[in-house]
Every structure is written in structure tokens, then in C-alpha cells.
């Protein structure tokens, strides 16, 4: 079993963040503009300034006990806990990052060194996007390109309304709400954004986000307006999927909605986008606009619901291996 996530910088310093952003933003699945046009902009404008700001943001959410970014810590724990369930059956588990460490290449080599000639890969993105899922798969196959004898590979599809995913989200909401001293008037479902052109060209991401939102509303017995879907984390000047989370949330107090909770069902693990952009920046914007109560529902992280989900995603494939 191979788990693939996005990746994160090694530390919060300028050079580490720059190296990470350079690799990420040079991926042609992420920025589709021709390199001759994009690379000079990336180097002159983005990589000279953004690593400072992003590094400060990462520093605010860094896990100082593990000395790693939360995305790294949770992905590692997901792999370790899945391993506790699968390795007794002789199924090794590894994890790799699309950008940064440990690389997908290292993870594949780890599994092959442990004798695997059949690898099941789960890209840890509940909703499919070419900018995330496809590039994770590209990188996996890139590692195999030079092998004479390739392992058998399965890439598990996205799981926007898989029952185990919706169950884990539902549990995370119920547990979080039980801790709160207030009753949220809205539960905002905020997903990572995507340029609108990606969807126009056939990326199913927006439709898969809508499937997640609809299934979660049904599980929680909420009406559509009680669980609005929004998109965060814009990058660059183009139009991205709408409504944008920040202006949407800032407009709520004027409508009498001053107590909200936010869930981010596009992320399997808490990361800079959830803990800082939503947990810090969005919270401040909501309070400044007249909000009174703001709560975050944590991502699935290393909850038992998350590990149940990973095990259920894996099972159909690993069972067939054992019987063959
Ligand atoms: C054009 C730029 C970007 C696209 C397209 C994009 C799509 C996309 N990203 C995620 C998930 C994550 N993105 C994260 C960070 C992040 N994303 C971008 C840009 C694009 N993302 C940047 C520049 C960054 C770095 C942070 C920053 O400098 O602001 C993360 C968190 C990583 C971490 O280390 O914590 C995740 C997760 C999805 C799901 C997605 C498309 C659907
Ligand atoms: Fe992103
Ligand atoms: Fe962001």
C-alpha cells in the first residue's frame, strides 16, 4: 500500500520554502501556462517574495514537538496506523509526497525493497483534480518508467461520497459540535480552490466537491443553506471557483449569522491551508466583520474514522491479491 499526499517544506526557512514552492509551482499539471512564459514570472516575482510570507505562515502552524509540518505529521501517522492493520497480513505500507520528502520515488523503492511486486496507491485527495490526483499518479508512473520489470500498479480512484468518508466527516462534526459552547448557525464547507478554466476543460473537481457536500448534508440532516460550499486558497490573478470562502464568510454577520463552524472536506490532513488560512486568517476576518463565535472542525487526520476509510479503500484490492 502506498499513500500519496501533496508534500510540504522541510522547515520554515526561506530556502526550504522556496525549494518546495519551486517544485510545486513548476509542475505543469498545476500551472499549465507554457514554461517560457511562466518560469520567468515564477522566478522574478513569486519565488523572490512568497517564501518569506509563506515561511511566516508555516511557522505559525509548525508542529514543534515533531519538528515538521502538520501535513507531514498526519500523513505519516495515517500510514503508520494503516500499517498496524495491514502489515500483520503481510501487506507493507509506505507514504510518499508529490513535492518534497519522502519522495514518491523513495516510497516505491521502499516497497519494492520489501518484496512488493504489486502496489496499490491511494492519492489522499477525496475529490479528483488533475492538479492533485493526476500529478500524484504521473509521479508514481514516472518512477516506474526506467524499470525493466515493473510492479503491478493500481491507483485507487477519488472517493467524494464513499460511505466511509462521509461517516468519518459526520463523526468529526458531531464530536466537534459536542465540545462547543454555542450552536453554529451555519457549517461552511470550504474546499481548496481551483482555476475556473480547469473545470471548463473537464476537471471533475467542482462536481465531486458538490457530491461530498450533498452527502454530508444528508448525513447531518442539514438543509443546503445550512451547509454552504465555498472555495479558499486562491493563487494568481485568474478567476477561480466561486464563491470564495473569505468574502462569503465576511458577509454573514450583516445577515445576522454571527456563529459559524467551518469544515474542510477537501483535505485529509490539517495543513497550512486549514490551520492558518482558515483557522487564523478567516477567523480574524469573520470577527472583524462582526462575527461572535467561530469554530474549526479538524480534518480527519489520524482519527479512527480516517484509518477505517483508508482500510476500506484498500481492502477490495488487497483481498484479491491474497486469494490469487
Ligand atoms: C495554481 C496554484 C495551485 C493550484 C491549482 C492548487 C490546487 C490544489 N491544492 C490542493 C491542496 C493543497 N494545497 C496546499 C498549498 C498550496 N497550494 C498552492 C497553489 C495551488 N494549489 C500553493 C502555492 C500552496 C503553498 C502554500 C502557500 O504558499 O500558500 C496544501 C498545503 C501544503 C502544506 O504544506 O500544508 C494543500 C493540502 C488541492 C486539493 C488542490 C486542487 C483541488
Ligand atoms: Fe494548493
Ligand atoms: Fe493558502
Same domain, yes or no: 124 and 172: no
At residue 322, the pLDDT reads 55
Helices 70-86, 304-323: inter-axial angle, 10-degree rounding: 40
Q: What is the pLDDT of residues 265-275, one digit of tens each?
A: 999 999 999 99
Share of the chain above pLDDT 70, in %: 98
What is the ipTM, given to two decimal places? 0.96
What percent of the chain has pLDDT above 90? 97
Q: What is the pTM of this model?
A: 0.97
Residue with cell 456563529: 259
Q: Are residues 201 and 184 in the same domain?
A: yes
pLDDT attached to residue 318: 86
- Ligand 2 mean position, distance from CA 192 (Å): 7
Q: Does one domain contain both 56 and 175?
A: no
Which pLDDT value is given to residue 146?
87
Q: Are 130 and 8 part of one and the same domain?
A: yes
Same domain, residue pair 205 and 272: yes
pLDDT category at 1 given cuts 50, 70, 90 is very high
Q: Are residues 92 and 201 in the same domain?
A: no
**CATH classification at residue 29:** 3.40.50.1400
User: 184 and 95, same structural domain?
Assistant: no
**SS3 of 184, please?**
coil
Atom nearest to 70 CA in ligand 1: 35
pLDDT of 159 over the 60 cut:
yes
Does residue 128 share a domain with residue 11? yes
- 48 & 100 share domain: yes
Residue 319: burial class (beta carbons within 10 Å; 0-12, 13-18, 19+) = exposed
What does the pLDDT read at residue 324?
47
Q: Which residues contact 127 (CB under 8 A, 6 or more apart)?
A: 158, 160, 191, 204, 205, 208, 209, 211, 212, 266
Check whether residue 151 and residue 181 sit in a common domain.
no
| 142 and 254 share one domain | no
* pLDDT tens per residue across span 279-324: 999 999 999 999 999 999 999 999 999 999 999 999 999 865 554 4
Output the known binding site. 192, 273
Domain tally for the chain?
2
Going from the Cα of 54 to the center of ligand 3, the distance in angstroms, rounded, reads: 8
**186 half-sphere exposure, CB direction, 13 A CA radius:** 26
Average pLDDT score over the chain? 96
Enclosing domain of residue 217: 163-296
Residues 210 and 195 in one domain: yes
Sheet holding 152-155, edge to edge: 94-97, 2-5, 118-123, 152-155
Amino acid at each position: 500500500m502506498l499513500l500519496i499526499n501533496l508534500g510540504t517544506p522541510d522547515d520554515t526557512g526561506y530556502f526550504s520554502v522556496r525549494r518546495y514552492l519551486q517544485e510545486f509551482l513548476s509542475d505543469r499539471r498545476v500551472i499549465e501556462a507554457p514554461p517560457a512564459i511562466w518560469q520567468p514570472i515564477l522566478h522574478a516575482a513569486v519565488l523572490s517574495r512568497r517564501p518569506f510570507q509563506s515561511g511566516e505562515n508555516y511557522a505559525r502552524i509548525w508542529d514543534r514537538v515533531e519538528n515538521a509540518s502538520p501535513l507531514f505529521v498526519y500523513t505519516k501517522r495515517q500510514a503508520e496506523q494503516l500499517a498496524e492493520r495491514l502489515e500483520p497480513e503481510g501487506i507493507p505500507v509506505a507514504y510518499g509526497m508529490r513535492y518534497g520528502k519522502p519522495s514518491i520515488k523513495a516510497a516505491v523503492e521502499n516497497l519494492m525493497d520489501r518484496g512488493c511486486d504489486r502496489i496499490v496507491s491511494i492519492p489522499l485527495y477525496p475529490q479528483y483534480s488533475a492538479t492533485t490526483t493526476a500529478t500524484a499518479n504521473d509521479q508514481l508512473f514516472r518512477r516506474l518508467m526506467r524499470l525493466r520489470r515493473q510492479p503491478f500498479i493500481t491507483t485507487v480512484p477519488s472517493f467524494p461520497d464513499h460511505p466511509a468518508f462521509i461517516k468519518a466527516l459526520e463523526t468529526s462534526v458531531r464530536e466537534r459540535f459536542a465540545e462547543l459552547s454555542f450552536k453554529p448557525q451555519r457549517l461552511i464547507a470550504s474546499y481548496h480552490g481551483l482555476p475556473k478554466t480547469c473545470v471548463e476543460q473537464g476537471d471533475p473537481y467542482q462536481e465531486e466537491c458538490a457530491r461530498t457536500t450533498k452527502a454530508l448534508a444528508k448525513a447531518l440532516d442539514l438543509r443546503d443553506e445550512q451547509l454552504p460550499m465555498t472555495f479558499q486558497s486562491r493563487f494568481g490573478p485568474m478567476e477561480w471557483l466561486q464563491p470564495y470562502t473569505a468574502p462569503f464568510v465576511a458577509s454573514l454577520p450583516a445577515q445576522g449569522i454571527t456563529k459559524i463552524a467551518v469544515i474542510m472536506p477537501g483535505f485529509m490532513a490539517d495543513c497550512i491551508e486549514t490551520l492558518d488560512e482558515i483557522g487564523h486568517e478567516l477567523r480574524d476576518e469573520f470577527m472583524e466583520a462582526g462575527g461572535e463565535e467561530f469554530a474549526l472542525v479538524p480534518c480527519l487526520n489520524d482519527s479512527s474514522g480516517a484509518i477505517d476509510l483508508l482500510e476500506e479503500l484498500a481492502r477490495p484490492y488487497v483481498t484479491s491479491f491474497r486469494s490469487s
